[in-house]
Every structure is written in structure tokens, then in C-alpha cells.
Chain A
Amino acid sequence: MPVPFLVPCREDTPARSSRGTPAAGGDALHHADDRHRKPVQRGQPVVHSSRELRDVCGRVGDRGELVQVAADTERPALRVEAYDAQWSAANDAARAADGPLWVVLGDSAAQGVGASSYDAGYVGVVRDRLVAADARPWRVVNLSRSGARTRDVLDEAALWRNVEGFPDFMTHLEEVRSTGPNTSHWKARGPLGTTVEWEAEITDDVPGERIAWRSVEGSKIDNSGTVRFVTAPGDQGTELHVEMRYSPPAGAVGATIAKMFGEEPGIQLKDDLRRFKAIAETGEIVRSDGSPEGPLGRRQLKQRPAHPQPDEELAGASTNGGGS
């Protein structure tokens, strides 16, 4: 069954799509400071049972949450009769009104198909509960479509287009800063506290298909990468195919750089992808006592004992690979 997605949105931030154009009716939502915050729950998960529904709703009130919405969410092919007309009218009214906003993505269940009226389905019920629970005039903009699938509404590529979020899951990166619509400044960590920096530009960006970047002419380190998005057979989600290339300069500096890109680049890339997957699917990189940084190649052989660590030691171990 396709899965409904519940997308809370913070009321006070004008929301924009990741591509900088107003998305999906102008109400959707992505703001840089919230990037990578929370479940863009991909794959087949979620909101089936009333318990899970309650859990999700419990999160609505207190914070805005990252979600990136594909620009073609309202694509006509996804529309069937359902309660489409009623929701369109209700959405217009909600856009004009004031109050905290809840944007709903989902399929026929979120449309209310099967319920006696458009707002007697679970979306209406949850909205009423929200209002009852915190006494604020919650608005709902319902962008759901009968027959929608996860990838019809959530845009994984947006996570990759947001280069500033890369250090969250690429552990050798210290910082990536956007310097223009297609350009960015990268800073990577090396051994013994060294760093190396370069400028990169996005060279190819086909929404939902692939995104590619490379370092600009004259960078200290010549590197490039491509991520392709392939729909897995049987609606199992999206496969990410990543290629990274780099050619370090010759000499001692080159050797240092080679080292920082990992002695086993294959393993490092795999761990980075695990971290990406974890952020995309669960909203966090899970830490253990043995591996407080999350998946990290160099930590595999130097596990800490599996008991709680004193504060001082934990402080040095962040999930973006810092500390050791």
C-alpha cells in the first residue's frame, strides 16, 4: 500500500522548495536551518496504525521539520476524483487563513477516500485533535493524491542538492558552504589536524535522476562525483548509485590528501552512504557505546568497550566523524 506522509511545517517561516521556486501550491517547505532535521521517512514506512499516527502528530506542535517536496506533487496524472475538489477548496481557504500550518502529503487514505465526507478521514480527525490538544487554529493544506507513492511526493535528490548537508554524512568533510546557485566551497579534514579546501560546481542536475558536481579549474585537488537515483524494482524505494573520482596532486601534499580520502575509499564511501540512508530514513545517525560516531570505518578496529562513556570522552565523538 502506498503510504501517507505527514508533513508538519513551521508557521512563521515562508517556505520554499529546494529548487528555490515555490513548490506545490506555495506552501511547501524547506528552510536551510532545519535541513536534515527529521524523518523524511522514505521507503515504505510509517503511518499505518493509530499509535504511529499519534506519535507523528505528537511531533507536530513543537518544531518545524525538514521536508522537501517534489515540484510536480500536484501533477494531474495523480489526481483521481476522490475528494479532490473539496480539498482544493479547503486548501484555498486554509492558505488565506492564519494559524499554524500542517501540510499533508499522502495517498487516498489522506484524501479521505472511504470516509463519509472529505474531512472525516484521518486527516480531518487528526486536525481536530491538534486543535483540541493545543488550542491553536491549526490549518491543513492537503496535497495528497489518490494512488500517490512516496517518491511522488518526497524528493530524495533534494538531500543531495543541499551540499551544505554533506558533512552530516560524509565524515572526511568538515564544511561545505554554498557560494552561489551552483557553486560551493569545500573543506575536508586530513590527518593530524590538516585541512584542504577547494571550490566545486554542480555540473548536472536532472531532478529525480541524477546530480553531478566537480571541482573548478585550478583547485588543489581535482575531484568530481555523480549520484544517480534509480527506482528499485517492486517499489522498494530508491537506489543511489554514487561515483566519486579524485586525483590528488603528486608529492607529499598529494600523499596526505590521498590519505584523508581514506585508505579504503570503498569502505569510506559505503559508510557515508549508510549515514546518508540513516538520515534520510530515520532522521538521525544512531550512536552506540562502541561506535559513538555512528558508522565510521576507522572506528571498526578501535571499538570502545560497550559501556556508557564518561562525558569528556563523548564530547569528542560527534556523528559527523569528528574526534576519535
Chain B
Amino acid sequence: MRATVWSGRNKVSVENVPDPKILNARDAIVKISSTAICGSDLHLYDGYVPTMRKGDILGHEFMGEIVETGGDVTNLKVGDRVVVPFPIACGACNACAREMFSLCENSNPNASTAEKLWGDSTCGIFGYSHAAGGYAGGQSEYARVPFADVGPIKIESDLSDEQALFLSDVFPTGYMGAELCDIKPGDIVAVWGCGPVGQFAIASAYLLGAERVIAIDRFDYRLTMAREKSGAETINYEQASVREALREMTGGRGPDACIDCVGLEAHHHHGGMYAYDRVKQATRMETERGYALREAIFNCRNGGTVSIMGVYGGFMDKFPIGAVMNRGLTIKTGQCHVHRYLRPLLQRIEKGDIDPSFIVTHRMSLDDASTGYETFKHKQDECVKVVMTP
């Protein structure tokens, strides 16, 4: 089959690889109908995530049709149309029982590697480095899905692929980012980053009852999308001081909750600061560029919540722990526990509360994956989300 393969920093290519096979009795094979590129894939593409190997198949946002099931999978049958959540979870361990599926204790065969990096392991994740299990991803024609009796959700209504696909990751991720903020009536929520995750965090904050949402980015077309699709107010951080604008917009209090939807490759308009972190990151003295997170912490209202959905991989300099401690902030974060949100969010889509397809700007063939990565990485041609079809 054809698959999008990581071939080193800034290089992906579509290559022929063997078809996936059932390796465990609880596996299923999915013939992929639509697959997307995620901001998380950019961290791999840019070489910031350790434990990648040449030849790894990328992709963790995919859906399609079941073409084969292992002997122990009885809830799915050939022909079922499913969306596959990006975390791989067994459904039976303590973490799964507590619905913290991205912390599943049985799905990462490379747990001891992850443990060295982070102190303990996360779940396995499709196409997301060897520390996350060394699983082939889904930017390909077919994918093997372990624990298929637990993860995939069947789509039985007539939703289009583009309406259902983002249940695999970015819609639940944005939703969880907002849910962690424990939004109460009257709350003002600020969201850093207006990529797909940010767009869904904004929309979800409104779904969960936020009074106002303030979106921060530097790309006007993304800010326009946040305004037009979800009704957010916006700040372009290259044109205004984020701090001053936020204070002004919140009566001097600061937002009640701040959501980081940027992650470890944050950009900074201040040349000096940006150069400082870039050099340190390039020389591996720190692994993150943390402006968005620092700014979110610094500007959050006293006693408020900072929810981190952007991905971080290691260690950060100048972490404003003094602000967190003295001003009584709460930090909440995690890889999204996608399984928890599949059903309720599918219902919301089916009821028409939200149509997630609004983020799609680019549609292309899987064969053009490398163009897709470049376009999305450099935010060319007003790109927000690339969906590929094999």
C-alpha cells in the first residue's frame, strides 16, 4: 500500500510499504477514506519529537471502512464506517477505567522508553514516535487498529467524512481544552493559537457557556475564521500588545481561563526573545519554545485556570512558576482522552450544534502529502487544515 513516511527532518514521502496485518486478536484493519495532517505532525516533521525513525508512517487522524477484524472483535464487522481515536487504549486498565484513555497502561510496548523521557509512560499513539509505541500511522491506504473493540466509533448517520473525521483528534482536543477550564457563567476565556485545535477550543468554550472568548494568533485569516465561525473577539499579537489588549478587554482582571493551543514551536514577534529560545532549542539546551504558555500563565486572572493542549516534549526555560504559585493558578493538561468525548460530540454533530468541517481549507490526494505538509507548516495559501484521500 502507499503510505506517508517520515524520512528525516522536513522530509516526508509517499512510499510503497507492506499492507498491515492483524497482529493481535483484538485488532481491526481499516481501509482509510480520509486522513488529516495535525499540528502535532508538524512537531515530528520539524524534528522536535525524539525517537522518530526513518520509515515511520505518520498520521493519527483518520477514518474509513473496516475490512478485516481479529477473532476477538465482535462489535465491528467488515463494511462498518468508523472514526479512529488517536490514543490507543485497552479499555480495561486502571487509567481506562477512570476514562483517562491517553494514559492507558497496556497499549504502549515501549513504555520503558517513555518512562526514561517523562518519568512514566503514556498510551500508544498512531504514527507518533517510538516513545508512543512505534505504531504505524494512518496517512496511508490502510491502518491496523489495536484494541478495535474499544476505540473506533461507528458512524451510522449520513455525515460526510469531513464532518466526522475530526472526532479522531482536534475536535475532542479543543473540547477537552475548554472543559478543563471549568467554565462558569460570565467567564471570559482566552485561546492562544487559532489552528484547528484553537478553533475547536474557541467553539467548545462557547458550547460550554463562556460569556466571551478572545482568540490570539498572528495570521489574520485564522483570526477571521475564529470571528466568523465562532464569534470570538481577536487579538493579532503582531499588531497589538497581548497583555494590554487582554487587560483592556477584561476590565483589568485578565481572562478567567487561558488555553494554550500552540505548543512547543511557538513563534515570538520579538526578535531577540525568539532568537534566544531558537538557539537554545537548536542546541538542545531546552526543548521548548514556550512564549505562548508563558504569556497565558502571566495573563491569566488571579485564581484562574491555564489549560495546556499544545504539545510539549521535554523541558522549558523561564517557566513562570512565581506567577502560578503566588497568584493561585491551576494548570491542567494532557493528551486528549478522545474516547471519552466520541459519543457526546458525535451527538452534538448529529444534532447540528456544530459542523466541524468548517476548518477544512485544503483537500488533496495522499500522493501529495509532502505538499500538504509544506503548505500547512508555512501556513501558505490560508491553510488551516489539510485533508487527504488515498
A residues adjacent to B (C-beta < 8 A):
38-39, 41-46, 51, 54-55, 58-59, 236-237, 267, 270-271, 274, 277-278, 281-297, 299-300, 303-311, 314
B113 touches A300 (CB 8 A): yes
Tell me which residues across on chain A come within 8 A of B90, comparing CB atoms.
278, 281-282, 286
B149 touches A278 (CB 8 A): no
B18 touches A309 (CB 8 A): yes
A-B contact pairs, 21 of them (CB 8 A): A45-B93, A54-B75, A59-B72, A236-B94, A278-B106, A281-B106, A285-B24, A287-B23, A287-B109, A288-B110, A288-B134, A290-B56, A290-B110, A291-B110, A291-B133, A295-B109, A296-B109, A300-B110, A305-B56, A307-B17, A307-B56
Bitwise, B12-56 to A at CB < 8 A (1) or not (0) is: 000001111101111000000000000000000000000101111
B136 touches A289 (CB 8 A): yes
How distant is the Cα of A291 from the Cα of B111 in the complex, in angstroms? 11
Chain A minimum-CB-distance residue to B109: A291
Total A-B contacts with CB atoms under 8 angstroms apart: 150
A292 touches B3 (CB 8 A): no
A58-B74, A287-B24, A290-B134 given; A308·B18 CB < 8 A = yes
Given known contacts A54-B75, A282-B91, A303-B53, what 12 new A-B pairs fall within 8 Å (CB)? A41-B92, A42-B92, A270-B112, A281-B93, A282-B92, A282-B106, A286-B124, A288-B109, A289-B135, A290-B53, A290-B134, A305-B55
Chain A minimum-CB-distance residue to B20: A308
A289-B136, A300-B112, A307-B55 given; A284·B24 CB < 8 A = yes
B94 touches A288 (CB 8 A): no
B residues 53-77 touching A (CB-CB < 8 Å): 53-57, 72, 74-75
Choose among A38, A290, A308 the residue that contacts B133 (Cβ–Cβ < 8 A): A290
B74 touches A43 (CB 8 A): no
B74 touches A59 (CB 8 A): yes
Q: How many interface residues does B have (CB within 8 Å)? A: 48
Task: Give A290 Cβ to nearest chain B Cβ, in Å.
Answer: 2
A291-B109, A297-B112 given; A306·B21 CB < 8 A = no
Choose among B5, B74, B137 the residue that contacts A55 (Cβ–Cβ < 8 A): B74
Tell me which residues across on chain B come within 8 A of A306, comparing CB atoms.
53, 55-57, 127, 130, 134-137
A58-B74, A303-B130 given; A281·B57 CB < 8 A = no
A314 touches B96 (CB 8 A): no
Chain B minimum-CB-distance residue to A282: B90
A286 touches B92 (CB 8 A): no
How distant is the Cα of A295 from the Cα of B5 in the complex, in angstroms? 24
B92 touches A303 (CB 8 A): no
How distant is the Cα of A283 from the Cα of B21 in the complex, in angstroms? 19
